[in-house]
């Protein structure tokens, strides 16, 4: 009887997988195939190391691709885009707000929240326009009660002034269309300033008197306020007199380093891929060069216990203003977190005093 050796069908005519892989990439040497061998003990570190690198690279790619959504958060809270002014009117202490619809410079439809606080004295001709730039997250309506308090207090400081506050709702926020981005919001800022110019033109026909214009930014809004002052076109019938910077930071790159200080994390090294710079540090130098004859005053209001912006950013911006020759004042709201500077009574008072001081200095300069 002859016993035949039957080969296993799953190995017949086949080499080991690692040899096949080596044969595919190696060259036969002396009629033999060069094989690569990985010790079993090295496989777990290689697998987990590869997974770590893959996750690391994926997180970096997501931060670069979706940086607009990460920075601006226009969808938080979930009902941010459906809020209405009348939902907060009872908390505004009698200050009336209205919604205006305008077109940005690229045709995008955006919304403004506008309130007028007329002078208490008859015949008063002092006009002050405040253009407000919100921080990221939420929308304008929830901020109206606090803005109303500050507007009333600024008016009480000098009842002879007529105040008009214009709150810009960035594209992608509240009822404004499109998606937020720094170039797009810069266009919105320019359109809002032009709208103020047209509004003033309709109110002050036949007079050459220029009103006081204050740009007030909160958090990322400080970047847009300084962008407009440094690079935007100022209509001939108005002039920029002051910037109020509430909880500002120097630039997005510095914030990236502050939020991710660990050297082994890749995120702070992604700054070459930033599309949103919000560089108030550089803008202040450009503002000083642009307004050499009558530099605008800068009023910095920072939170004493800011959990997001490092405590030295306000001080750095103050030193920057002093270096380039911009008049500057800095106020610190003790015990306030990042979003509480405008909520606490001392913060509200500091903001109101900054606005009324800017108006008084501008009128005195005229």
- Integer Cα distance of 143 and 218 in angstroms: 11
Mean pLDDT on 9-36: 50
With contact defined as beta carbons under 8 Å apart, do 312 and 254 qualify?
Answer: no
With contact defined as beta carbons under 8 Å apart, do 328 and 130 qualify?
Answer: no
| Strand duo 239-246 + 297-303: pairing | parallel
Mean pLDDT on 163-171: 98
Indicate the range of 14-18, 79-83, 178-182, 280-284 predicted with least confidence: 14-18
Predicted TM-score of the model (pTM): 0.86
Range among 20-34, 44-58, 180-194, 208-222 with highest mean pLDDT value? 180-194
User: How is residue 102 annotated by DSSP?
Assistant: E
Range among 4-8, 83-87, 256-260, 271-275 with highest mean pLDDT value? 83-87
With contact defined as beta carbons under 8 Å apart, do 277 and 70 qualify?
Answer: no
- Integer Cα distance of 363 and 297 in angstroms: 13
- Integer Cα distance of 225 and 19 in angstroms: 64
- Integer Cα distance of 288 and 294 in angstroms: 9
- Integer Cα distance of 229 and 279 in angstroms: 12
The pLDDT-based confidence of 20 (bands split at 50, 70, 90) is: very low
> In the predicted model, what is the mean pLDDT of the chain?
89
227-236 pLDDT, tens per residue? Answer: 999 999 999 9
90-147 pLDDT, tens per residue? Answer: 999 999 999 999 999 999 999 999 999 998 876 667 899 999 999 998 999 999 999 9
Mean pLDDT on 309-325: 97
What does residue 220 show for φ and ψ, rounded to 5 degrees?
Answer: -65, -20
With contact defined as beta carbons under 8 Å apart, do 127 and 203 qualify?
Answer: yes
50-75 pLDDT, tens per residue? Answer: 998 898 889 889 989 999 988 998 88
* Two tokens, residue 55: 């996750």
H or E element in which residue 300 lies:
strand 297-303
- Integer Cα distance of 195 and 100 in angstroms: 10
pLDDT score of 11 more than 70: no
* Two tokens, residue 118: 């007329």
Residue linked to tokens 């501008």: 362
81-93 pLDDT, tens per residue? Answer: 999 999 999 999 9
- Integer Cα distance of 148 and 94 in angstroms: 8
Cis peptide upstream of residue 140 (ω within 30 degrees of 0): no
Indicate the range of 20-24, 195-199, 305-309 predicted with least confidence: 20-24
The residue among 75, 87, 74, 216 whose CA lies nearest residue 147 is 216
- pLDDT number for residue 44: 85
Residue 123 burial (C-beta neighbours within 10 Å; 0-12, 13-18, 19+): exposed
162 beta partners: 127
- pLDDT number for residue 208: 66
The total of other beta-carbon atoms located within 10 Å of residue 178's CB is 18
User: How is residue 29 annotated by DSSP?
Assistant: B
The pLDDT-based confidence of 22 (bands split at 50, 70, 90) is: very low
- Integer Cα distance of 328 and 101 in angstroms: 34
């Amino acid at each position: 009887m002859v016993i035949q050796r039957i080969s296993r069908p799953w190995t017949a005519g086949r080499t080991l997988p690692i040899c096949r892989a080596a044969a595919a990439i190696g060259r036969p040497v002396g009629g033999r195939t060069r094989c690569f061998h990985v010790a079993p003990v090295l496989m777990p570190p290689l697998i987990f190391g590869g997974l770590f690198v893959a996750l690391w690279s994926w997180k970096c790619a997501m931060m670069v691709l979706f940086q607009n959504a990460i920075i601006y958060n226009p969808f938080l809270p979930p009902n941010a885009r459906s809020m209405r002014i009348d939902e907060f009117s009872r908390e505004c202490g009698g200050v009336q707000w209205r919604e205006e619809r305008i077109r940005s410079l690229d045709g995008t439809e955006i919304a403004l929240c506008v309130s007028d606080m007329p002078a208490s004295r008859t015949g008063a001709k002092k006009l002050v326009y405040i253009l407000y730039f919100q921080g990221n997250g939420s929308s304008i309506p929830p901020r109206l009660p606090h803005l109303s308090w500050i507007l009333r207090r600024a008016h009480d400081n000098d009842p002879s002034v007529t105040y008009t506050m214009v709150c810009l709702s960035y594209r992608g926020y509240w009822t404004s269309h499109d998606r937020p981005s720094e170039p797009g919001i810069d266009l919105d800022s320019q359109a809002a300033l032009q709208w103020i110019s047209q509004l003033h033109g309709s109110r002050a026909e036949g007079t050459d008197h220029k009103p006081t214009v204050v740009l007030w930014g909160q958090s990322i809004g400080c970047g847009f306020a300084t962008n407009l002052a440094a690079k935007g076109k100022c209509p001939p019938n108005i002039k920029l007199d002051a910037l109020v910077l509430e909880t500002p930071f120097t630039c997005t790159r510095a914030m990236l380093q502050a939020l991710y200080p660990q050297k082994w994390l890749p995120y702070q090294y992604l700054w070459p891929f930033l599309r949103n710079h919000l560089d108030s540090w550089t803008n202040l130098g450009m503002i000083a060069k642009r307004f050499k004859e009558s530099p605008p005053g800068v009023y910095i209001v920072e939170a004493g216990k800011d959990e997001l912006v490092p405590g030295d950013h306000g001080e750095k911006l103050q030193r920057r203003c002093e270096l380039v020759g911009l008049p500057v004042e800095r106020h610190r709201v003790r015990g306030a977190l990042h979003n509480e500077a405008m909520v606490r009574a001392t913060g509200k008072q500091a903001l109101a005093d900054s606005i009324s001081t800017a108006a008084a200095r501008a009128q005195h300069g005229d």
